[in-house]
Structure 1
Amino acid sequence: MLQLSPHSDKSAPGGSPNGPQSGHQSGQTDDDAIVRFASAGKRFAAPDGGAEFVALEDIDLAVSEGSITGIIGRSGAGKSTLIRMVNGLERPSSGRVVVDGIDVAAMDERKMRTLRRSVGMIFQHFNLLSSRTAYANVALPLEIAGVSKAEIAKRVTPLLDLVGIADKRDRYPAEMSGGQKQRVGIARALATNPKVLLSDEATSALDPETTRSVLALLKQVNRELGLTVLLITHEMQVVREIADHVAVLDRGRIVEKGDTYSVFARPQHPVTRTFLEGVTGVRLPAFVTEKMTSEPEPGAEAVVKIVFTGPTATDPILAEIGKTLATDVNILAGAVDEIAGKPYGTLVVALDQAALAPAQALIEERGLTSEVLGYVR
Structure 2
Amino acid sequence: MNMLSPTAPLERGVTPSPPPGDALVRFEGVRKVYPPRAGNASFVALDHIDLSVARGSVLGVIGRSGAGKSTLIRLVNGLEKASAGRVIVDGADITGMSERDLRGVRRAIGMVFQHFNLLSSRTAYDNVALPLEIAGVAAADIRRRVEPLLELVGLADKRDRYPAELSGGQKQRVGIARALATRPKALLSDEATSALDPETTRSILDLLGSINTELGLTILLITHEMSVVARIARQVAVLDAGRIVEQGDVYDVFTRPQHATTRSFLGAVSGQKLPGWLAGRLRAEARPGDQTVVRVVFRGPIATDALVSGLVKTHGVDVNILSGAVDEVAGRPFGALVLGLPADPATLTLALAWFAGHGLDAEVLGHVG
Q: Deviations over 1:241-291 (max 9, x none)?
A: 111111111111111111111111122211111112122334555665565
Distance change >3 Å, CA 186–CA 301, structure 1 → 2: same
Which runs of structure 2 are paired with 1:269-280 in the superposition (5 Å)? 269-280=259-270
Provide Cα deviations, 1:180-216, integer angstroms capped at 9, x if missing partner.
1111110000000001000011111112221111111
1:136 is paired with a residue whose SS is helix
Q: TM-score, normalised by structure 1?
A: 0.90
Tell me the equivalent position of 2:367. Answer: 375
State the alpha-carbon separation in 1 of the partners of residues 73 and 161 from structure 2: 30
Q: What is the Cα deviation at residue 332 of structure 1? A: 1.6
- 1:329 and 2:319 are equivalent in the alignment: yes
Sort the Cα spacing of 1:86 and 1:43 in 2 relative to 1 into closer, same or farther, 3 A. same
Conserved? CA contact 2:266–2:272, under 8 Å: no
Is 1:237 the counterpart of 2:243 in the alignment? no
Correspondence for 1:20: none
Between the aligned partners of 1:285 and 1:162, the Cα distance in structure 2 is 42
Moved more, 42-51 or 59-68: 42-51
Contact 1:200 1:232 in 2 (8 A): yes
- Aligned CA distance change for structure 1 residues 285 and 84 (closer, same or farther; 3 Å): closer
Kindly provide the amino acid, as one letter, of the partner of residue 243 in structure 1.
A
Relative to structure 1, is the Cα distance of residues 284 and 373 closer, same or farther in structure 2, using a 3 angstrom cutoff? same
Offset, 1:3: 2.0
**Which of 180, 192, 211 is equivalent to 2:201?**
211
Q: Which residue of 1 aligns with 2:11?
A: 5
The aligned counterpart of 1:362 is 354
Contact 1:8–1:65 at 8 Å: present in 2 too?
no
- Indicate the SS of the match to 1:327: coil
Question: What residue identity is the alignment partner of 1:95?
Answer: G
Deviation at 1:68, TM superposition (A): 1.1
- Deviation for aligned residue 1:99: 0.8
User: Does the 8 Å contact 1:2/1:158 carry over to 2?
Assistant: no
| 2:111 matches 1:105 | no
Aligned residues: 361
Q: Percent identity?
A: 62
Q: Return the alpha-carbon distance in structure 2 between the equivalents of residues 150 and 264 of structure 1.
A: 48
Contact 1:261/1:339, CA 8 A, preserved across alignment: yes
Moved more, 4-13 or 184-193: 4-13
Identify the residue that residue 47 of structure 2 maps to in structure 1: 57
Alpha-carbon distance in structure 2 between the residues aligned to 1:334 and 1:321? 17
- CA–CA separation in structure 2 for the residues paired with 1:287 and 1:70: 33
The superposition leaves residues 28-53 of structure 1 with CA deviations (integer Å, 9 ceiling, x where unpaired) of: x6x12111111111111112476321
Unaligned 5+ runs, structure 2: 1-6
- Structure 1: give runs of 5+ residues left out of the alignment: 14-28
User: For the structure 1 residues 327 and 194, does the alpha-carbon distance in structure 2 shift closer, same or farther, using more than 3 Å as the test?
Assistant: same
Q: Residue 41 of structure 1 is aligned with which of 19, 24, 31?
A: 31
Label 1:136 to 1:288 Cα distance change in 2 as closer, same or farther (>3 A): closer
Is 2:306 aligned against 1:313? no
- Among residues 103, 106, 113, which one is paired with 1:116 in the alignment? 106
Residue in 1 that maps onto 2:337: 347
